[in-house]
Structure 1
Amino acid sequence: MQDFPTAFAKLTPGRHKARIPLGTGASGTELGIPVAILRGAKPGPCLWINGQVHGDELNGLLAAFDLLDSIDPAALSGSIVLSTTANPFALDARRKRTPADEEDLDQSYPGRADGLPTQRLAAALFSHVAEHADVTVCMHTVGTPYDGRPYAVYKLHPESGVSEAELLRLTAHFSPAISCRMSVAAGGAELPGNIAGALDYQLLARGRKAFMLEVGGGGRAEAPFIAAATAGLRGLATSMGMLGRDAPALPRTILRATRRGHLTCSHGGFAQTTVTPGSVVKAGEPILRIRNAWGELVETVTQDRDVFVIALRRDPVMQSGDRAAFVAWEWDEVTIG
């Protein structure tokens, strides 16, 4: 199989396979990132879809497969590139992090070609995306123990030249439950670690348009969410002038989260809830109730303000400190220009 740079430079119209080399395993097995390329009959932009960066997040790559299946190259201008998984080691292990070094790939870009395994993964992919992609959709899901309706995440880079309004318009193609503006500041309430090492943020730093789409929950294939993501990708490609038809109508407004974070539990036990992701829970109302091993109610998770529920614990087995829910504390409705 050809390496990606050689294949991308010489492709004729049609669907093609390539690989981004990663070295070899101890057994001599050649390691690499699988890449599918749909080259159109006419020149045009490049839409790059990163199918997953975490090994247990599957809905997005399945949506990308369906998109490639649905497009006739003769009707396509430009190229749609799918890096099916940016972390084949994590995919094979069905894990979020790289097994060899327990690092989070989406906190490791742009990477180091001479670094640890996760840094090498990041470097191998990043240079190609940064060179070719006009727009990159970074596919994710919420973690396997959680449920969530599809939503979008975007970051702002002060030197990208890409405005917040433009990023919101890109996310609007997917009719997300909410589009979340994510801070990359260290020590924030959202996630620990190097948030600025995310693929989308590092692409923005190089003036490339990029954002994240969270397509439901991890560790499973959710047909309605996959279909919705496929439709969103098709709409985005159309808006980019790749499919030779009128741009799709976008929603007039979209919900924008400007501050969000996790709610954790103090007691272990078994969680129950009647709340659903995508809903607003009023101040003081229960989000999650936890009973201990004797069936006694030991904790009711609430907030002292209204919250928008982005994702919610699906696995009822809880330990002290586990994340019970992911919520927006501040959000508004913005008009899509």
Structure 2
Amino acid sequence: MHDYIEINEKKVARGEDKLINLSIARLPTYTSIDLPVRVIRGENPGPVLLISGGLHGDEINGIEIIRRMLVKNILKPECGSVIAIPLMNVYGFIQNVRGVPDGKDINRSFPGSKSGSLANLVAYNIMKEIIPKVDYGIDFHTGGASRSNFPQIRCTFDVPENIELAKVFSPPVILHSKLIEKSFRKAAFKKGKQILVFETGESLRIDNFGIEEAIKGTQRLMKYLGMIQNAPEPQQTEIFEKSSWIRAKIAGLFHPKVVLGDNINKRQLLGRITDPYGNETVKVVSNYNGKVIGLNYNPVVHKGDAILHIANRAKP
């Protein structure tokens, strides 16, 4: 552990707690948009843990998870340091959208470019100023528009340390998720950093159950890394190697018969899709045993829309 962590030419010594504004770019109005970065350091040596949220601007749960931990002083380590970035996509947050004003997804823009678009600029600054300083990270996410996720850690089972950290976090579900090109997680992995992705709830909605699961998991991980002494006891976690989306066979109104977290059986009725006029009903039936980890809450669906996400192959 270094005596100082330096971000944007500002130094934070052991035992200090500082807010650093990382300049990203400016709007057409010449209004500057900065990325607020909180650096919280313990007095004693230890690892540096990144806690990040809001990479997609409409994913509010990650922002709220970190806000609550900051307010409750949960992220104050005895050993090591925490770098907390509640809101990485300020642009998207302002407009309640996933991406940035040019329509691009920051999480498909890494490692970014100093001379690129807004998405590339955000990615570039995170990779240049933040990632070199950290050892581990938790990136908090939320389901897409109208699609809610059951609390889950996504990690790659191909990297033993990655799944070990996920087990320590002890969420309700751990799901194998390969490293995706140009994603934050893969760009960090190429730099030797282990990043877990936690998913819960749906965009623009607060999911208190998932938020509390995230907070307890973060405490468990910090204890495992030797940063704090006390954390909630681990819970039973279900681990899945595979998942699949069930898609609508027709357009209409979707009426689910299951809820997030339900265990389901092959050939079980999961819901129905009806037309608006009372003339047609199509059953939605499971093709396998599994667990509901994602659910589309928008009743109006088109043919081919993803309506249920099923984790369907448990790891022994």
Question: In 2, Cα distance between the equivalents of 1:50 and 1:274?
Answer: 34
Match of residue 24, structure 1, among 10, 23, 26: 26
Task: Give the TM-score normalised by structure 1.
Answer: 0.84
| Shift of residue 248, structure 1, vs aligned partner | 6.0
Question: Is the Cα contact below 8 Å between 2:238 and 2:314 reproduced in 1?
Answer: yes
Question: Is the Cα contact below 8 Å between 2:12 and 2:39 reproduced in 1?
Answer: no
- Give the structure 1 partner of residue 146 of structure 2: 145
**Superimposed CA distance per residue, residues 14-42 of structure 1 (whole angstroms, 9 cap, x where no aligned partner):** 43211221121111111122212222233
**Superimposed CA distance per residue, residues 155-196 of structure 1 (whole angstroms, 9 cap, x where no aligned partner):** 367xxxxx33x2223223443232111134xxxxxxxxxx22
| Shift of residue 249, structure 1, vs aligned partner | 4.6
Question: In 1, Cα distance between the equivalents of 2:214 and 2:17?
Answer: 21
Match of residue 80, structure 1, among 58, 82, 89: 82
Question: In 2, Cα distance between the equivalents of 1:266 and 1:72?
Answer: 46
1:330/1:270 Cα in 2 relative to 1: closer, same or farther (>3 Å)? same
1:267/1:12 Cα in 2 relative to 1: closer, same or farther (>3 Å)? same
Question: Is the Cα contact below 8 Å between 1:174 and 1:228 reproduced in 2?
Answer: no
- AA matched with 2:220: G
| Shift of residue 329, structure 1, vs aligned partner | 2.9
| Shift of residue 72, structure 1, vs aligned partner | 7.6
Match of residue 96, structure 1, among 98, 115, 118: 98
Aligned Cα root-mean-square deviation (Å): 2.3
SS of residue paired to 1:320: coil
The answer to whether residue 125 in structure 2 is matched with residue 124 in structure 1 is yes
- Give the structure 2 partner of residue 171 of structure 1: 166
- AA matched with 2:163: L
1:16/1:295 Cα in 2 relative to 1: closer, same or farther (>3 Å)? farther
| Shift of residue 246, structure 1, vs aligned partner | 5.7
- AA matched with 1:225: G
Task: Give the TM-score normalised by structure 2.
Answer: 0.89
**Superimposed CA distance per residue, residues 198-240 of structure 1 (whole angstroms, 9 cap, x where no aligned partner):** 2112211221111100022221122232222112112211221
| Shift of residue 5, structure 1, vs aligned partner | 2.7
Question: In 2, Cα distance between the equivalents of 1:208 and 1:177?
Answer: 24
Identical residues among aligned pairs (%): 21
Match of residue 282, structure 1, among 251, 258, 265: 265
Question: In 2, Cα distance between the equivalents of 1:259 and 1:74?
Answer: 36
Question: In 2, Cα distance between the equivalents of 1:57 and 1:241?
Answer: 30
- Comparing 48-57 with 227-236, greater Cα deviation is found at 227-236
SS of residue paired to 1:149: strand
SS of residue paired to 1:96: coil
1:138/1:73 Cα in 2 relative to 1: closer, same or farther (>3 Å)? closer
| Shift of residue 70, structure 1, vs aligned partner | 2.8
- Give the structure 2 partner of residue 210 of structure 1: 195
Question: In 1, Cα distance between the equivalents of 2:262 and 2:242?
Answer: 16
1:291/1:72 Cα in 2 relative to 1: closer, same or farther (>3 Å)? closer
- Give the structure 1 partner of residue 3 of structure 2: none
| Shift of residue 68, structure 1, vs aligned partner | 2.3
| Shift of residue 137, structure 1, vs aligned partner | 0.4
Question: In 2, Cα distance between the equivalents of 1:28 and 1:11?
Answer: 33
1:42/1:74 Cα in 2 relative to 1: closer, same or farther (>3 Å)? farther
Question: Is the Cα contact below 8 Å between 2:247 and 2:305 reproduced in 1?
Answer: yes
1:168/1:311 Cα in 2 relative to 1: closer, same or farther (>3 Å)? same
- Give the structure 2 partner of residue 182 of structure 1: 177
SS of residue paired to 2:163: helix
Question: Is the Cα contact below 8 Å between 2:19 and 2:39 reproduced in 1?
Answer: yes
Question: Is the Cα contact below 8 Å between 2:26 and 2:32 reproduced in 1?
Answer: yes
Q: Which structure 1 segments of 5+ residues have no match? A: 158-162, 185-194
Question: Is the Cα contact below 8 Å between 1:269 and 1:319 reproduced in 2?
Answer: yes
In the TM superposition, structure 1's runs of 4+ consecutive aligned residues that sit over 6 Å from their partners are: none
Question: Is the Cα contact below 8 Å between 1:52 and 1:61 reproduced in 2?
Answer: yes
- AA matched with 2:240: A
| Shift of residue 302, structure 1, vs aligned partner | 2.1
Match of residue 287, structure 2, among 304, 320, 325: 304
| Shift of residue 43, structure 1, vs aligned partner | 3.1
Question: In 2, Cα distance between the equivalents of 1:73 and 1:220?
Answer: 24
Question: In 1, Cα distance between the equivalents of 2:74 and 2:58?
Answer: 30
**Superimposed CA distance per residue, residues 245-297 of structure 1 (whole angstroms, 9 cap, x where no aligned partner):** 2676544x632222223222132221111212222221122223111110334
| Shift of residue 331, structure 1, vs aligned partner | 2.1
* Residue correspondences, number: 311
